[in-house]
Amino acid sequence: MKKLVVTAALCGAAMLMAADPGQFSMSDKDRAMYQEMLENNPGEIFVAEGEELFEDLITEEGLAKYLGIETKDLPKYIAGFPRYVKKLDMVAGLDQVMQAIMCENGKKPFKLKSKKMFNMLAYAKSLANDEKINIDVNADAHIKKAYALGKHVYNTPRGGRGLACLSCHSEATVGLALRTQILPNLGAVNAGGTWPAYRMTKSSLRTLQRRFQGCMKNALMAVIPIGSKEMVALEVYVTNMAKGKPIAIPGLKR
């Protein structure tokens, strides 16, 4: 198989190779399991658990009230996250909004990296299923700043291998193989609209920001905390890549 050298920063790191379409495809057994999971996504179990938590601690009416909108408008509004939230005075993810509501209601909020928050976020975002992502990165000065920061985080090499998100998801590398995995265009695969997702290799539900952390760890980067200004900005940038694509939660990922 022909090796492809992309940048000097990749030398000594995992090898990028031109992909033979059949070389890295799933085995027949794995493909059959994947098809079965598409029809019976195990992530639905976690979403159901999240629904119970959401109805007990948040409710659609409570979420809409906090956001200053009508309950009927909630699905379309959710499809625009992350976004600037006036009551928080910052660009926030939906999970951070739910944390704030729990605090406002006198409840101890779930940690952003907890399984309970992952499940509740999955349910809350699933309320917008089939809505098209409508994030507006030009809506106000706050989201414009977040988008610019997210772009910077995405494009800037850092860590022990001198890699950036762009190193594996640029026009030059999409479709190549990295450790037997085909590198995707994050907009084309609708990363912004299909996380939280059930990861087959982890047998658990994960969020987009948690997936970012896994990539950072593998690339020997300092791992950015979930919910930090930089991490939310990165989600803004990546979500905008899939603008116009439908939300479909829970996703199913290898």
Average pLDDT over residues 232-248: 98
DSSP letters for the chain = --B----GGGTTSSPEEPPPTTTTPPPHHHHHHHHHHHHS-THHHHHHHHHHHHHHHT-HHHHHHHHTS-GGGHHHHHTT-SEEETTTTEEE-HHHHHHHHHHHTT-PPPPTTSHHHHHHHHHHHHTTTTPBP---TTSSHHHHHHHHHHHHHHH--BTTTTB-HHHHHSTTTTT-EETTEEPPPTTTTTHHHH-SEEETTTTEEE-HHHHHHHHHHHTTPPPPPTTSHHHHHHHHHHHHHTTTSBP-SSEEE-
Q: Does the residue 46 lie in any domain? A: yes
Give the pLDDT confidence of 21-78 residue by residue, as tens digits.
Answer: 444 455 566 666 556 665 789 999 999 999 999 999 999 999 999 999 999 999 999 9
Range of the domain at 132: 8-253
Q: Is 69 within a domain? A: yes
- Check residue 94 and give its pLDDT: 98
Indicate whether 12 pLDDT > 50.
no
pLDDT of residue 18: 47
In a domain, 3, yes or no: no
Average pLDDT across the chain, whole number? 88
Has residue 176 got a pLDDT over 80? no
Does 4 score more than 90 pLDDT? no
Q: Say whether pLDDT at 203 is over 80.
A: yes
Number of domains in the chain: 1
For residue 51, being part of any structural domain is answered with: yes
User: What local confidence, expressed as pLDDT, does residue 50 receive?
Assistant: 98
> Residue 17's pLDDT is what?
47
Query: 81-85, 127-131, 168-172: which has the minimum mean pLDDT?
Result: 168-172
Asked whether residue 242 is domain-assigned, the answer is: yes
Task: Specify if 1 maps to a domain.
Answer: no
pLDDT given at position 229? 98
- Give residue 51's pLDDT: 98
pLDDT mean over 132-146: 98
| Average pLDDT score over residue span 201-211 | 95
Tens digit of each residue's pLDDT (9 = 90 or more) over 99-122? 999 999 999 999 999 999 999 999
pLDDT value of residue 182: 81
Residue 241, domain CATH: 1.10.760.10
**pLDDT score recorded for residue 171:** 84
For range 12-22, the mean pLDDT: 43
Q: What is the pLDDT of residue 173?
A: 78
Q: What is the mean predicted confidence (pLDDT) over 68-95?
A: 98
Q: What confidence tier does 180 reach under pLDDT thresholds 50, 70, 90?
A: low
Model pTM?
0.85
